[in-house]
């Protein structure tokens, strides 16, 4: 239509350049969003962070010794799964090449903690029951030095909700993320990164290998706070006490 009206024909790349640089448009794949997600999830989380922060101050905790981080459970699988980042196609001068993969249906569950001003830690889970989660949380807390209290952001799983009193008694406080909002938990990006690394670079034959390699992948990224950068930009006002800690941890 533009060519018919103006007698000028632009190539596809020229159109993209015009739309991006002159019109300020973006070209991207929209992020999926669950239709059940509330309209004001960021405001909900801000309120919960502020309430937790105020409660810690009211209880007299030394905020320098309160550790914050994100937690979640994840299952890694032995069998090949292209969705984890494994390339589907590639160019080659040789035909009919193959890649050795494992089609066994075994899996291993993990509990991960990704710290803001805390030590990140990964624990193998025997199952997803309350007892296993409790032991994983205690293992995470044991990793922290000068820790008066541990604050954990995580989702609203039924087992998580049932641990509030248990955690309170052990100075582990939980901040539930708004429902249907996994993007508000940066550890999801950690899982994605570890799974991509695992699928692209490793062949996993046994569950013992899977556990060892997943731990190795987690160790590579657990200290990279870049996964938290956009989250911090949104909620740093509610965590102003930790601004210097976070900025010093993320500086080159």
User: pLDDT (tens digit, 9 = 90+) per residue, 129-156?
Assistant: 999 999 999 999 999 999 999 999 999 9
130 C-beta neighbours (distance < 10 Å), count: 14
User: pLDDT (tens digit, 9 = 90+) per residue, 195-231?
Assistant: 988 877 667 778 888 899 999 999 999 998 889 888 9
Average pLDDT value for residue range 36-60: 93
pLDDT of residue 190: 96
Domains in the chain: ranges and CATH: 41-250 (3.30.420.10)
Task: Evaluate if pTM is beyond 0.85.
Answer: no
Per DSSP, the three-state class of 171 is coil
Q: Is the pLDDT reported for residue 249 higher than 60?
A: no
Whole-angstrom distance, CA of residue 236 vs CA of residue 230? 10
Structure tokens at 239: 């965590």
Whole-angstrom distance, CA of residue 47 vs CA of residue 43? 6
Q: Is the pLDDT reported for residue 82 higher than 50?
A: no
Q: Is the pLDDT reported for residue 97 higher than 80?
A: no
pLDDT of residue 86: 47
Of 16 and 170, the structure prediction assigns the larger pLDDT to 170
């Amino acid at each position: 239509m533009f060519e018919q009206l103006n007698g000028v024909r632009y190539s596809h790349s020229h159109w993209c350049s015009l739309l991006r640089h002159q019109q300020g448009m973006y070209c991207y794949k929209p992020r999926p969003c669950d239709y059940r997600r509330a309209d004001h999830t960021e405001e909900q989380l801000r309120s919960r962070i502020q309430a937790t922060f105020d409660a810690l101050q009211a209880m007299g905790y030394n905020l320098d010794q309160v550790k914050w981080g994100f937690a979640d459970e994840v299952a890694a699988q032995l069998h090949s799964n292209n969705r984890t980042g494994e390339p589907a196609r590639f160019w080659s001068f040789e035909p009919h090449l193959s890649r050795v993969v494992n089609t066994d249906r075994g899996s291993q569950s993990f509990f991960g903690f990704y710290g803001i001003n805390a030590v990140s830690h990964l624990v193998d889970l025997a199952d997803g029951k309350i007892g296993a989660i409790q032991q994983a949380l205690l293992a995470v807390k044991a990793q922290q030095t000068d820790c008066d209290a541990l604050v954990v952001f995580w989702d609203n799983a039924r087992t998580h909700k049932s641990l509030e009193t248990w955690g309170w008694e052990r100075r582990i406080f939980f901040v539930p993320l708004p429902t249907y909002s996994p993007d508000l938990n940066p550890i999801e990006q950690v899982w994605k990164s570890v799974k991509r690394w695992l699928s692209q670079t490793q062949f996993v034959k046994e569950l013992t290998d899977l556990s060892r390699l997943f731990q190795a992948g987690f160790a590579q990224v657990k200290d990279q706070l870049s996964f938290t950068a956009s989250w911090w930009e949104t909620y740093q006002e509610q965590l102003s006490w930790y601004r210097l800690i976070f900025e010093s941890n993320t500086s080159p």
